[in-house]
Amino acid sequence: MEQEVNDKVLVEQVRNGDKQAFNLLVAKYQFKIQNLVSRFIKDRSEQEDVTQEAFIKAYRAIGNFRGESAFYTWLYRIAVNTAKNHLVGTGRRPPAQDVDLDESSAIGIAGGLTEMNSPEAILQNDELVVVIRNAIKRLPDELRQAITLREFDGLSYEDIAEVMECPIGTVRSRIFRAREAIEQAMDLPLK
């Protein structure tokens, strides 16, 4: 909640002409946005260009930010659209899914297991990551997007509802169903 308050203060300062306030927002979210863009675009220099373009678009459109959602949610939408538009503009097709699942181990989906360094634990972790990746790949788009926004991007249910343009109850249901499918694929007991 404090983060939202700070972001709203910075946004208001930007609206009043304080460019340094926008630089603070960029510094705060640059890594997160570039990580998001990297899920769509593999080339590092293209990622940097698209990230910069997303921030430029956000700066130009900051007067349109109504504050009904968190600033990051608004910025997230701009970054995703900028990445997809970049792919289309270069004659490439945007991915059907929002997350490159090859990066899921780096994102920390099985973080608890990464602390164990024995060869057996490393092998089990690798196998688990493959199972989870495959389970997520098989999810319908709306379940995959909901679980990705929650688990990989850390968005609240409210923010996910806004990004997906659906009621919070639908978000909760989609996340539950996605977790259920992943747990079944992992052959774990359901909670």
The two tokens of residue 62 are 């900051």
pLDDT for the residue 58: 94
Parent domain of 64: 2-89
Specify if 191 maps to a domain. no
Specify if 146 maps to a domain. yes
Specify if 52 maps to a domain. yes
**Residue 178 shares a structural domain with residue 157:** yes
Burial 154-184 (b: 16+ CB within 10 A, else e): ebbeebbbbbbeeeeeebeebbebbbebbee
pLDDT for the residue 52: 93
**Residue 176 shares a structural domain with residue 117:** yes
pLDDT for the residue 82: 93
**Residue 75 shares a structural domain with residue 105:** no
pLDDT for the residue 169: 92
pLDDT for the residue 94: 65
Q: Note down pLDDT in tens along the chain; length 191 residues.
A: 555 558 888 999 999 988 888 889 988 888 889 888 888 888 888 999 999 999 999 999 998 888 888 898 899 999 999 998 998 887 877 655 544 323 333 333 333 333 444 566 566 666 767 777 788 888 999 998 888 888 777 788 888 998 889 999 999 999 889 888 887 877 654 44
Domain boundary among 26, 54, 89: 89
**Residue 111 shares a structural domain with residue 41:** no
